[in-house]
């Protein structure tokens, strides 16, 4: 083939790849946008809505970035529907596909980038958790990918060029933003440190390295400041979640975490990743040595660390999610290397990955809306739907409408007053109640109980009107996670009435029950939990 023919073929391939890439990005954004509009907010998502409702330098569970993203896309909660709360996930989900493509192009070629984009799209973590749901993982993955793209350009540079030095400063910024999204992003500096120490120590002699670290540290200062005010309570909370010395070895938790990592990253992706890793270690395909080290350092230790934690403590599979992106890139390189003719053909595993995701989403959506799979029958109304995880994403919107009618009847009969608040004892379903029930009816939600159960609601209490003597209140729970009113509530109220049961349906199928209790005559005001722990109120935050 002549040089002209080769160039023409290469140009034609690049155009085909770009067309395919943008088809993936656009269709992905449209599908995820529809699902973001159609499906109700989950437990965690609706809780992070409170981060935008009551912004702070940091929060009990996580740094503040997810709240800022919600604030931004809702225009300070002016548009606060599910779609607008999730809009940053929908948009960045498309941007992330492009970033993965660009990283793949840098690592090998644009065919690698396309394959990586397809596998990325097939990942439940990348498509759903960070691409539809609004979670701290949304901004984290975006800034993580930006950081990964920069460090692939910077770290291997043994000439320490001026451009690499400048990019290193930018890397300090992107990692700082990732750390403001989720604490685990700090691991990027660990991976960078290992690479520099063992493979390119010349960077240790540059001022830019230390300035970049300083930039990340300065950006993280708001979180340090907030934690300092509250005796580093957030770090203590997360430290207890991964404490290895409070229980014995738990193989059941380990295999649950492993199964979760496989499921969240798509079983097809996981199998290809394992095959690619074996091929890499057997030197069955070629990859720049520095790139190989970077991909392995930013992936395997992170996934392995949470598997180690899972031997002793409950963990969540999405914690290791960013690490799997590097493994997706590795898989794409492996498959692109097998495409000897460099033609635009989609590998069977990549196609199956997306098909499996689409089928899984279709089944999940049908179950959320119709309950066609069903749950074991029970005669206990407090256990109906107990094991149906899809109820975390459905039913609250309809219950909110039913409750508003029920409340109006209570007000008309004199049973309750317009000012009667809703009392909660746990952060979930407190946030669901707050968003779908209390907000539309103009009610106040008040948290009573321990900090470990209330989380941010301990701070929210300080920003809302308190209970007042002689007032009545509601207490709401559902059979999905039934929790009867704690007897300690009788310390503050004279009486807890028998519950009124409001049925929840998927289509015409009765799938859960909501229990509405009336708490009568407030005789004693609950204490300020934070004040009892020695944390005084900020004057600027005091409600008046």
Q: Name 9's Cβ contacts closer than 8 Å, sequence gap at least 6.
A: 1
The C-alpha atoms of residue 107 and residue 329 are separated, in whole angstroms, by 9
The whole-number pLDDT of residue 304 equals: 94
Q: According to the model, what pLDDT value does residue 80 have? A: 94
Residues 6+ apart with CB under 8 A from 141: 92, 96, 126, 130, 321, 322, 325
Looking at residue 245, its pLDDT comes to 66
pLDDT at 542 (0 to 100): 44
Burial class (CB in 10 A: 0-12, 13-18, 19+), 36: buried
Q: How far apart are CA 279 and CA 340, in angstroms?
A: 16
The residue with tokens 């300065």 is 218
CA 443 to each of CA 30, 71, 143: distance values in angstroms, whole numbers, following the listed order? 35, 22, 37
Enumerate the β-bridge partners of residue 500.
516
pLDDT tens for the 544 residues of the chain, in order: 445 444 444 677 788 999 999 999 999 999 999 999 999 999 999 999 999 999 999 999 999 999 999 999 999 999 999 999 999 999 999 999 999 999 999 999 999 999 999 999 999 999 999 999 999 999 999 999 999 999 999 999 999 999 999 999 999 999 999 999 999 999 999 999 999 999 999 999 999 999 999 999 999 999 999 999 999 999 888 777 666 666 778 899 999 999 999 999 999 999 999 999 999 999 988 899 999 999 999 999 999 999 999 998 888 899 999 999 999 999 999 999 988 766 788 999 999 999 999 999 999 999 999 999 878 889 999 999 999 999 999 999 999 999 999 999 999 999 999 999 999 999 999 999 999 999 999 999 999 999 999 999 999 999 999 898 999 999 999 999 999 999 999 999 999 999 999 999 998 899 999 999 999 999 999 999 999 888 887 654 543 3
* First-to-final CA distance of the chain: 80
Whether 135 and 48 have beta carbons less than 8 Å apart is answered as yes
**What residue segments make up the domains of the chain, in order of their start?**
3-366, 389-541
Within 166-219, strands assigned E span none
Identify the pLDDT of residue 238.
Answer: 77
- Rounded CA gap, 183 and 314, in Å? 18
Pairing between strand 509-522 and 500-506? antiparallel
Q: Which uninterrupted H or E stretch holds 517?
A: strand 509-522
E strands in 437-508? 445-447, 473-478, 493-496, 500-506
- For 385, the 3-state DSSP assignment is coil
C-alpha separations of 34 from 31, 447, 532 in Å: 5, 34, 46
Dist. CA 79–CA 315, nearest whole Å:
34
What is the spatial distance between Cα 332 and Cα 347, in angstroms, rounded to a whole number?
Answer: 10
- CA Rg, the chain, in Å? 26
Neighbours of 189 (CB within 10 A): 18
Q: At what angle do helices 82-107 and 321-338 cross, to 10 degrees?
A: 40
pLDDT of 13: 78
Contact 357, 266 (CB under 8 A): yes
Q: Are strands 445-447 and 422-424 parallel, antiparallel or unpaired?
A: parallel
Structure tokens at 94: 């498309």
Q: pLDDT value at position 242? A: 66
pTM: 0.94
Q: State the burial class of residue 534 (Cβ atoms within 10 Å of its Cβ: 0-12, 13-18, 19+).
A: exposed
For residues 46 and 395, give the distance between their C-alpha atoms in angstroms, rounded to a whole number: 14
C-alpha dihedral sign at 23, 29, 32, 38: negative
Residue 159: count of CB within 10 angstroms of its CB: 7
DSSP of 54-79: S--S--SSS-SHHHHHHHHHTTTTTS
Q: SS3 for 98? A: helix
DSSP 525: P
């Amino acid at each position: 083939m002549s040089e002209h023919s080769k160039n023409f073929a290469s140009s034609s391939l690049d155009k085909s790849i770009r067309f395919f890439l943008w088809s993936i990005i656009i269709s992905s954004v449209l599908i995820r946008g529809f699902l973001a509009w159609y499906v109700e907010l989950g437990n965690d998502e609706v809780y992070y809505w409170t981060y935008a409702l009551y912004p702070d330098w940091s929060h009990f569970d996580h740094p503040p970035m997810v709240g800022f993203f919600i604030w931004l896309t809702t225009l300070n909660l002016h548009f606060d529907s599910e779609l607008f709360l999730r809009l940053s996930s929908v948009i960045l989900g498309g941007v992330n596909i492009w970033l993965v493509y660009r990283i793949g192009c840098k690592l090998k070629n644009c065919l690698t980038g396309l394959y990586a984009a397809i596998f990325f799209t097939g990942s439940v973590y990348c498509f759903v958790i960070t691409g539809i749901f609004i979670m701290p993982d949304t901004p984290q993955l975006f800034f993580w990918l930006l950081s990964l793209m920069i460090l692939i350009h910077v770290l291997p540079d043994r000439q320490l060029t001026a451009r690499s030095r400048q990019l290193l400063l930018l890397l300090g910024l992107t990692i700082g933003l990732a750390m403001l999204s989720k604490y685990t992003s700090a691991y990027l500096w660990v991976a960078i440190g290992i690479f520099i120490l063992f493979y390119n120590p010349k960077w240790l002699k540059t001022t830019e390295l230390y300035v970049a670290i300083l930039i990340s540290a300065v950006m993280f200062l708001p979180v340090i400041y907030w934690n300092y005010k509250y005796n580093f309570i957030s770090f203590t909370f997360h430290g207890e979640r991964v404490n290895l010395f409070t229980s014995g070895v738990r193989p059941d938790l380990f295999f649950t975490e492993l199964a979760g990592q496989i499921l969240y990253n798509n079983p097809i992706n996981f199998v290809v990743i394992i095959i690619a890793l074996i091929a890499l270690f057997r030197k069955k395909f070629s990859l720049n040595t520095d790139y190989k080290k970077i991909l392995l350092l930013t992936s395997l230790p992170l996934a392995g660390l949470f598997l180690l934690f899972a031997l002793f403590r409950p963990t969540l599979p999405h914690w290791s999610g960013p690490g799997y992106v590097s493994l997706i890139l590795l898989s794409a390189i492996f498959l692109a290397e097998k495409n000897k003719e460099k033609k635009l053909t989609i590998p069977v595993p990549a196609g199956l990955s997306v098909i499996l995701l689409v089928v899984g989403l279709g089944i999940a959506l049908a179950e959320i809306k119709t309950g066609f799979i069903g749950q074991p029958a029970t005669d206990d109304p407090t256990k109906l739907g107990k094991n149906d995880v899809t109820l975390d994403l459905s039913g609250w919107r309809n219950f909110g409408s039913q409750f508003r009618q029920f409340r109006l009847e209570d007000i008309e009969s004199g049973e309750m007053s317009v000012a009667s608040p809703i009392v909660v004892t746990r952060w979930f379903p407190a946030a669901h109640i707050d968003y779908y029930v209390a907000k539309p009816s103009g009610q106040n939600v008040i948290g009573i109980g321990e900090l470990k159960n209330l989380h941010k609601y301990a701070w929210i209490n300080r920003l809302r009107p308190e209970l007042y003597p002689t007032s009545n209140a509601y207490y709401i729970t559902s059979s999905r996670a039934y929790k009867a009113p704690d007897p300690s509530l009788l310390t503050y109220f004279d009486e807890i009435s028998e519950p009124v049961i409001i049925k929840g349906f998927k289509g015409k199928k009765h799938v859960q029950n909501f229990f509405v209790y009336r708490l009568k005559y407030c005789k004693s005001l609950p204490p300020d939990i934070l004040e009892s722990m020695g944390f005084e109120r900020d004057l600027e935050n005091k409600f008046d």
